[in-house]
């Protein structure tokens, strides 16, 4: 909304700053940060009665369970509310922004239902895995359909790039329109739901998931800005997505909200993000990666999330395989893998900080691939 103040440049020169995406990204982050801290005390009081049951000691381990302590959940609202307020003020809306917001809000809604059922049933089991996956796919479909239905965004939506390659791995010219659109729909759902679940797996220690999310969003904020800039995208030989630069402003707003949440989620946590936060933020990152035509880059940038998710998958597959042969065995002491390191005796703060460092390193390596082609 404030973007249109640029038209008043003739009355006061500094109004021209509202045209620049870099300025608006910083201001969006600052707005969400300040606004978030102002609303946080009120919101935490509202969340105080929303306490998710702790997992059973037999599952989490006596050294992991916080006995007698029930921390409020649905802290994802601490990110979502100030971020959306800042987005309304600073982002110039286009189809890419709309698609990403649809995914963020839709998957946050799925997480909200899951959290609500856990609280209502007083049980750590909320939605079934199939119901949750169906909800995530339902949240992703309207966004990709919107992109494909918009003439100016249709070709860019079908275009997919792979790190280290100088040309697009898939483009609208390579396939018939109907087939390219079908591939885009399937791939968009896979990327967004996969990222959503991966972030959810990572959300197991105070401050762990949100720190890694911030690192990934910083990286993709820069990728979005470069993809939306004709000169920079041409210099780096990456896909130019007209309007993608506004996603950097959106991510700036979400980062501001995420920093507010981190303030209260740092050990010892005063609030958990819940599935509302984890599913929504994961889906948002996946949507941005796809819209900027770099979904495979997410595997590198979100390396921590990938390892967390793969540890769960490997553990389940190996256990079921050995169970059929006799006694079920496990590769890790516990999954997701951050719990394995807890069982190894690592302090929670050490695990969190080291995973943050790895997340930042993954972001740097991901950015390097834009030049290494």
Q: How many CB atoms lie within 10 A of CB 85?
A: 18
pLDDT band at 90 (very low <50, low <70, confident <90, very high): very high
For tokens 């820069």, the residue is 222
| pLDDT (0 to 100) of residue 52 | 64
- Whether pLDDT at 15 is above 80: no
Mention every residue, 6+ apart, whose C-beta is less than 8 A from residue 133.
193
Alpha helices in the chain (DSSP H): 21-47, 57-60, 77-90, 95-121, 129-149, 151-158, 177-202, 208-228, 230-236, 245-265, 274-291, 297-301, 303-324, 337-343, 348-371
- Which tokens in the block code for residue 134? 């169906």
Q: How many CB atoms lie within 10 A of CB 234?
A: 10
pLDDT band at 292 (very low <50, low <70, confident <90, very high): very high
Task: Calculate mean pLDDT across residues 94-111.
Answer: 97
Q: Is 132 helix (H, G, I), strand (E, B) or coil?
A: helix
For tokens 């659109």, the residue is 181
Provide the percentage of residues in the chain whose pLDDT is more than 70: 92
Q: Is 170 helix (H, G, I), strand (E, B) or coil?
A: strand
For tokens 């979400």, the residue is 254
For residue 168, CA distances in Å to 150, 171, 337 come to 21, 6, 34
For tokens 């389940």, the residue is 316
CA atoms within 13 A on the CB side of 82: 30
| pLDDT (0 to 100) of residue 156 | 87
- Which tokens in the block code for residue 185? 């729909």
For tokens 């630069």, the residue is 245
pLDDT band at 85 (very low <50, low <70, confident <90, very high): very high
| pLDDT (0 to 100) of residue 38 | 96
- Whether pLDDT at 65 is above 50: no
- pTM for the model: 0.92
Q: Give residue-wise pLDDT tens across range 220-255.
A: 999 999 999 999 999 998 889 999 999 999 999 999
CA distance 316 to 311: 9
CA distance 120 to 111: 14
pLDDT band at 54 (very low <50, low <70, confident <90, very high): low
**Of 113, 360, 34, 81, the residue nearest 222 (C-alpha):** 360
Output the CA torsion 292→100→278→210 (10° steps): 60
| pLDDT (0 to 100) of residue 59 | 40
Q: Taking phi first (over 0 means left), then psi (-120 to 50 degrees means alpha), and beta for anything else, what does residue 207 get?
A: left
- Given a contact cutoff of 8 angstroms between Cβ atoms, the answer to whether 172 and 155 are in contact is yes
- Which tokens in the block code for residue 181? 């659109």
- Given a contact cutoff of 8 angstroms between Cβ atoms, the answer to whether 308 and 338 are in contact is yes
Task: Calculate mean pLDDT across residues 127-145.
Answer: 94
- Which tokens in the block code for residue 56? 């059973």
CA distance 304 to 46: 32
For tokens 């649905």, the residue is 74
Helix axes 77-90, 245-265, angle to 10 degrees: 150
Task: Calculate mean pLDDT across residues 13-28.
Answer: 86
CA distance 321 to 312: 14
Distance between first and last Cα of the chain = 38
CA distance 93 to 158: 21
């Amino acid at each position: 909304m404030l973007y249109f103040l640029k038209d008043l440049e003739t009355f006061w020169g500094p109004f021209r700053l509202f045209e620049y995406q870099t300025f608006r990204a910083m201001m969006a982050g600052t707005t969400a940060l300040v606004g978030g801290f102002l609303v946080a005390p009120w919101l935490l009081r509202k969340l105080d009665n929303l306490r998710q049951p702790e997992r059973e000691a037999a599952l989490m381990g006596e050294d992991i369970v916080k006995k007698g302590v029930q921390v409020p959940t649905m802290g994802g609202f601490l990110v979502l509310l100030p971020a959306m307020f800042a987005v309304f003020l600073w982002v110039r809306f286009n189809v890419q922004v709309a698609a990403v917001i649809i995914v963020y809000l839709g998957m946050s809604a799925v997480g909200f239902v899951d959290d609500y059922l856990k609280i209502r049933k007083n049980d750590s089991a909320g939605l079934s895995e199939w119901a949750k996956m169906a909800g995530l796919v339902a949240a992703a479909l309207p966004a990709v359909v919107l992109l494909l239905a918009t003439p100016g965004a249709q070709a860019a939506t079908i275009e997919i790039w792979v790190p280290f390659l100088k040309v697009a791995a898939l483009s609208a010219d390579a396939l018939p329109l109907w087939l390219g659109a079908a591939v885009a729909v399937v791939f968009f759902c896979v990327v967004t739901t996969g990222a959503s679940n991966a972030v959810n797996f990572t959300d197991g220690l105070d401050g762990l998931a949100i720190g890694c999310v911030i690192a990934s969003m910083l990286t993709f904020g820069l990728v979005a800005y470069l993809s939306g800039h004709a000169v920079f995208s041409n210099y780096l030989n990456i896909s130019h997505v007209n309007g993608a630069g506004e996603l950097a402003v959106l991510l700036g707003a979400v980062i501001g909200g995420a920093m507010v949440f981190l303030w209260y989620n740092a050990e010892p946590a005063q609030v958990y993000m819940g599935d509302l936060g984890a599913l929504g933020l994961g889906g948002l990152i996946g949507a941005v990666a796809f819209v900027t035509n770099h979904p495979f880059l997410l595997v590198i940038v979100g390396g921590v999330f990938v390892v967390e998710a793969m540890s769960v998958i490997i553990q389940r597959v190996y256990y079921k395989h050995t169970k059929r042969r006799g006694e079920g065995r496990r590769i890790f002491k516990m999954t997701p893998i951050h719990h394995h390191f807890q069982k190894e005796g690592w302090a929670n703060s050490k695990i969190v900080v080291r995973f943050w460092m790895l997340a930042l390193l993954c972001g740097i390596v991901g950015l390097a691939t834009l030049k290494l082609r």
